[in-house]
Chains A and B, each alone.
Chain A
């Protein structure tokens, strides 16, 4: 008996579905009959949907590009970079300007700050490299042994520079992936290169490092693929005869990379390091301290603020849009009171009337949603062109606003629809407009 009834219902399902399809057609007809009216009343929904789509796209894009870019630099790292001290700073503080960053600074940081686990020192130069057949101009980094580990560089072949290389003044070098490829056979482990006037032995080759497409301003990950690494100390040999050498920096290191034990210690460590360096450099600020973790927090904060503004705009637009829909649906209900009476008289139940008006309001907001998604996509393209933000429109960015538009149609359509369904058939039929 039960099974029979179930089958009966299953059979009727397509028919019930068909009746909703017809109601949808009626709704669409009524929407397109009053084109201007419908267009004006979905305007708010269109704006709201645009805002939501933009919000999600920016969120996605920013997270993917900027935040990832910063994160790649290492959130437990603090970069101390030497800069040219401003003239006034040198004057004000008299006789003994500092010599930029030195290994002493490294030792001070290492011993002075308890969160620090390692400090890598590096000096950047550029030099000409000669193989048997080629001459290649390339940036060279003279670095301490911690450098690769802290930055997460790994070797594909051979090994990176080790402590003993520095202590023994070994003339060895490690090649970035691209530069090694450029040298063909001569880039093999064990082959010799001339850098400046000295012969260096290749001991390792770095694995390919993928670079994000970010064109981030403050610091971007360097293209280590194009670089050559030598032990710290060996740069002295080059400095004397390197062709384009920045003399003001010749004395000091170009960078100290400090690793701290966890992300939450970054900000405190930055304070300590800046105190240490301030004292050591006689208050001459010839360095800058950059902490990716802080940049990350900053970027996230900016993005959150932006998102909050957009969310506010979106919710206001959706609210106003929803009220617009409610208004137009109420007008439509009272305009079509007699029609409601007729439909009730020929057999429409309250649910049928409810469904019809709900379908109409949802159809309207859904059309608004689609228009909004199209316009929003355009807006996102424009913004990413102008703000050079990489923004990605993914499935969420399209689905969420569409679902929201349907929700707005349901929420704001329910009151007019209930009002229509509540009408007594005979009163609706007797209604005169």
Chain B
């Protein structure tokens, strides 16, 4: 049997709201093979981002088991978890999430600071990633001096620079026009073809078509898979 890269079983997530509990995810069971391009869709508020955050180790589930690359990541300490985020995950957020005081290159280099990569090596990899997303001429710009699409591409460059095992994208095209969105999806496809596993959240059917597999989430449960 081929080992899965991501293996979730019985994942549940509850948020305390007032004195009640809001059950956002209920008993999610999900396995993702290496080199997959998985798309998660569903209505707003169905728990897609929450699930993605749990997969990316930004959030802990209330219940369940999570194995990443053969390692039980729910049992490890903060330092190891951070190292995992720095080396194995590439995150692309819906809201870009660039550090405003750092310029484009420095933002892309950021993960290397925490994976303790050698400075020169980090710069090299960052520049290569920036070139891949076509932003070489915007290198010195601050996030405030970039357009929305450029910021998103910067975020993608930051994610791909570390050559992650798993790329997590939360509505990467949500804020963009269809042409820019398309360009970004092409980058994703290109990365996937070269071996990166991608999990992408979107509620755009057009976008979902780029993926090889699509999960449909409703009310915190996987309602459909195709």
The segment out of A12-20, A174-182, A185-193 that lies at the interface is: A12-20
| B98 to A, closest residue via Cβ | A342
Interface residues of A in 1-27 (CB under 8 A from B): 12, 15-16, 18-19, 22-23, 26
B contact residues, total (Cβ < 8 Å): 30
Kindly specify which of B63-71, B78-86, B144-152, B178-186 makes contact with the partner chain: B78-86
Q: Which of B2-10, B33-41, B107-115 contacts A (4 or more CB under 8 A)?
A: B107-115
Taken residue by residue from 390 to 433, chain A's Cβ proximity to chain B (1 for < 8 Å, 0 otherwise) reads as 00000000000000000000000000000000001110010000
Q: A338-B97, A429-B97 are in contact. Are A348 and B82 (CB under 8 A)?
A: yes
Q: Which of B116-124, B200-208, B214-222 contacts A (4 or more CB under 8 A)?
A: B116-124
Q: In the assembly, what is the distance between CA of A351 and CA of B81, in Å?
A: 12
Asked if B91 CB lies within 8 Å of chain A CBs, one says: yes
* Neighbouring B residues of A68 by C-beta, 8 Å: none
Is B86 within 8 A of A346, CB to CB?
A: yes
Q: Which residue of B lies closest to A23 (CB)?
A: B113
Residues B91 and A426 in contact, CB atoms below 8 Å apart: no
Do B82 and A349 touch (CB < 8 A)?
yes
How many contacts between A and B, using CB within 8 angstroms? 79
Q: Choose among A30, A33, A342, A347 the residue with the greatest number of B CB atoms under 10 Å from its CB.
A: A347
The yes or no answer to A153 lying at the interface (CB within 8 A) is no
Question: Looking at the complex, which one of A12, A33, A426 makes contact with B101 (CB distance below 8 Å)?
Answer: A33
CA A424 – CA B53 in complex, angstroms?
Answer: 12
Which residues of B lie under 8 Å from residue A425 when comparing CB positions?
A: 58-59
Q: Assess whether B30 is interfacial by the CB under 8 Å rule.
A: no
CB nearest neighbor in A for B100: A339
Instruction: State the CA gap A29–B101 with chains docked (Å).
Output: 9
Interface string of A323-357 (1 = CB under 8 A from B): 00000000000000011011111111111100000
Residue from the list A343, A345, A349, A429 in contact with B78, Cβ < 8 A: A349
Residue pair B87, A15 in contact (C-beta under 8 Å): no
> Interface centre among A30, A33, A349, A429, by most B CB within 10 Å?
A349
**Given A348-B82, A349-B83: A15 and B58 within 8 A (CB)?**
no
Contact A347 B111 (CB under 8 A): yes
B188: CB under 8 A from chain A? no
B116 pairs with A16, CB closer than 8 A? yes
B60 to chain A, nearest CB (A): 9
A346 touches B111 (CB 8 A): yes
Q: Which residue of B lies closest to A16 (CB)?
A: B116
Select A30's contact among B85, B101, B115, beta carbons within 8 Å: B101
Docked-complex contact B115 and A347, CB < 8 angstroms: yes
| B85 to A, closest residue via Cβ | A347
Question: Does B101 contact A342, Cβ atoms closer than 8 Å?
Answer: no
| Interfacial chain A residues near B115, Cβ < 8 Å | 347
Which chain B residues border A23 with CB–CB below 8 Å?
113
Closest residue of chain A to B119 (Cβ to Cβ) is: A18
Q: Which of the residues A12, A343, A424 comes within 8 Å of B114, measured between beta carbons? A: A343
Across the interface, do B93 and A429 meet the contact criterion of CB distance under 8 Å? yes
- Is A429 a contact partner of B99 (Cβ separation < 8 A)? no
Measured in the bound complex, the distance between the Cα atoms of B114 and A15 in whole Å is: 10
Report the bound CA distance from A23 to B106 in whole Å: 12
Contact B85 A339 (CB under 8 A): no
Q: In the assembled complex, how far is the CB of residue A349 from the closest CB belonging to chain B, in whole angstroms? A: 4
Q: How far is the CB of A25 from chain B (nearest CB, A)?
A: 10
Instruction: Name the residue on B nearest A345 (C-beta).
Output: B91
Query: Would you call A426 and B53 a contact (CB within 8 A)?
Result: yes
Please, how many angstroms separate the alpha-carbon atoms of A350 and B78 in the complex? 7
Instruction: Say if the beta carbon of B158 comes within 8 Å of chain A.
Output: yes
20 contacts between A and B (CB under 8 A): A15-B117, A16-B116, A18-B118, A22-B113, A339-B99, A339-B100, A341-B97, A344-B82, A345-B58, A345-B91, A346-B111, A346-B114, A347-B87, A347-B111, A347-B115, A348-B114, A349-B79, A349-B114, A424-B59, A425-B59
Known: A343-B99, A347-B82, A425-B59. 14 other contacts (CB 8 A): A16-B116, A22-B113, A26-B101, A29-B101, A345-B85, A346-B85, A346-B111, A347-B86, A349-B81, A349-B83, A352-B114, A424-B59, A426-B53, A426-B58
Q: Which A residues contact B (CB, under 8 angstroms)? A: 12, 15-16, 18-19, 22-23, 26, 29-30, 33, 338-339, 341-352, 424-426, 429
